[in-house]
Amino acid sequence: MFIIKCPYCGNRDHSEFSYGGEAHIVRPKQPTELTDDQWAEYLFMRKNIKGLQYERWNHAHGCRRWFNMARDTSNDKIHSVYKMGEKPAK
């Protein structure tokens, strides 16, 4: 049961948030130029990393804003949270 630091609200209990899958996937600007395979890559293919993973989270029972998180899936340590549109800290 994590404690997640919402970039807008501060530290909150895990149960206030909902998970949003892999981060940094940009919806293609010209979908009609893509082949079926390339479009399927965007639609369906996601990474599943043991280790540092970049993910989206939503503060569903709070400010309802989306943000990003760098989390180590092997031990659930949260490395950082950062706002939508920002790059992960290195």
Out of 5, 16, 49, 58, name the contact with another protein by CB under 8 A: 58
CB of 27 to another protein, least distance (A): 5
Q: Is 62 in the site for another protein (CB under 8 A)?
A: no
Q: Tell me the C-alpha distance between 25 and 47, whole Å.
A: 11
Q: Is 75 in the site for another protein (CB under 8 A)?
A: yes
Beta strands 52-58 and 3-6: pairing type?
unpaired
Q: Which residues bind to another protein, rule: CB under 8 A?
A: 1-3, 13, 20, 26-27, 31-32, 34, 36, 39-40, 43, 56, 58, 60, 64-66, 75-76, 84-85
